Homo-oligomer: A and B are copies of this chain.
Amino acid sequence: MIYNPVSPILPREESDRQRSCQKGEESFTNSCSEARTSSTKSRQAERSTVFVRKPAAQKQTGGSLAVWREERESGSPRIEPPGAVSPAKRQIKEVKETKTTINCVTFPLPGEGPEQQLLKPDEWSYCDYFWADKKDPQGATSLPGFEVLLQKQLKGKQMQKEMSEFVHERIKIEEEYAKNLSKLSLSPLAAQEEGTLGEAWTQLKKSLHDEAEVHLKFANKLHTEVEKPLLTFRGDNFKKDLKKYDHHIADLRKQLASRFASVEKARKALADRQKDLDLKTQQLEVKLSNKTEEDIKKARRKSTQAGDDLMRCVDLYNQTQSKWFEEMVTTNMELEKLEVERIEWIQQHLRQYTTLRHETDMFNQSTVEPVDQLLQNVDPSKDRELWVKENKTGDVRPVDMDI
């Protein structure tokens, strides 16, 4: 693991427990997973831990991995303080050259800024691949990356439900088959066959009932051990939970949009103030007057104020974006874990299906064995003896009549 383990993103109350998990880094994810409860109410407690390097901070620390929480806890702003230089002096264009804001989220431009490494390399983790919004084919609207993940969850839930339905249909087929076999088993056909052949035949007919029992047992076990677990895994609460995640992340995106609007407004106000100051400075060059110098001072103050305003707005925007980022990482990790659990649950229960199928074939074999045994014993001589004993009319042979 190449993560810097200094500052995991953790809910405050979880940090102690999580930290103890960090000691054995290799088995870290598993041991932590086990320690967590699966209650959806304690969502915070379920979050996977990930060590997040905040890419923006890399700039500040000359490329070394700086840590978000450190910044946050130290209370230092996450953007460079304007310092003595008036914000108005900074060229907005200059900023736009290295970063771009799409749907209110700010990304580095390709080739600009230090190279980002994946949060969880080689893991194809959800937390690494869904930062941008997804444009729909028409390009008219776009879907947040998080929604793509939520749709995957909903689809997964649907698949699980459909598999359960499939198994249900299989159960119905087995029950119908068993019913028919059982019914045929009771048929009076050739019931009057006698002797050892009659015994073998009776057992053959009975074996259909045994087969029916095997298939009925299969159907019952399919119901309790496959259909039901597949159906009830993640009940009705699951979709509510997904909705909560959805609203939570969507709210943060709305907040980000609102903060972005404030930044834009403040940026425009600063530009206006800057323009006003420039105008007044030009006027000063044309004709010197106290009034103008006073105006310039006032304009500069206002420009500085607008700069401070913008700085504050940008700060708020960045704080919100950080919050969203944090929630995205933890929630994506959560969804990733849910998907692993879903796949393993389904795998486990489909395995149970094949186990039951194998069992059914084995038990089915055993229904034929007594028939084989009795067919082995079929003996025409014995049957003749039995039948003759019961049906003979007389063994005294006729003799010639005397006169």
Give chain A's interface residues, CB within 8 Å of chain B: 54-57, 78-80, 82, 87, 90, 95, 98-99, 101, 105-108, 113, 116, 118-119, 123-126, 128-134, 145, 148, 152, 155, 159-160, 162-163, 165-166, 169-170, 173, 176-177, 180-181, 184, 187, 189-190, 192-193, 197, 200-201, 204-205, 208, 263, 307, 310-311, 314, 317-318, 321-322, 325, 336, 339-340, 343-344, 346-347, 350-351, 353-354, 357-358, 361-362, 364-365, 368, 371-372, 375, 378, 380-381, 383-385, 387-389, 391-403
Contact = CB atoms under 8 A, between A and B. Distances in A.
Most chain B beta-carbon contacts within 10 A, residue among A208, A354, A371, A399? A399
B131 A393 contact: yes
13 contacts: A107-B398, A129-B388, A129-B395, A130-B392, A130-B394, A132-B393, A166-B184, A166-B187, A170-B184, A321-B400, A339-B383, A339-B384, A354-B371
Chain B CB count within 10 A is highest, among A336, A364, A403, for: A403
A29 to B, nearest CB: 11
A310 B401 CA distance: 11
Kindly list the 3 A-B residue pairs having the minimum CB-CB distance in the complex, ordered from nearest.
A132-B394, A129-B392, A56-B399
Contacts of A123: 381, 384
Nearest to A108: B399
Given A177-B177, A340-B380, A357-B368, 14 more contacts: A78-B400, A119-B397, A126-B384, A128-B395, A132-B394, A162-B190, A163-B201, A170-B208, A204-B353, A314-B403, A321-B401, A354-B368, A354-B371, A358-B365
A233 to B, nearest CB: 14
Contact of A148 (B263, B347, B391, B400): B391
Contacts of A325: 397-398
Given A181-B173, A375-B351, A403-B82, A380 B343 contact: yes
Contacts of A387: 152
A208 B371 CA distance: 28
B79 A401 contact: yes
Nearest to A135: B393
Which of A133, A205, A317, A394 has most chain B Cβ within 10 Å?
A394
| Interface SS majority for chain A | helix
A113 B399 contact: yes
B398 A105 contact: yes
A375 B354 contact: yes
A375 B399 contact: no
Contact of A368 (B124, B339, B344, B358): B358
Contacts of A358: 365, 368
A265 to B, nearest CB: 14
A177 B187 CA distance: 19
Contacts of A184: 166, 169-170, 173
Contacts of A385: 124
B197 A318 contact: no
Contacts of A176: 176-177, 180
A365 B365 CA distance: 11
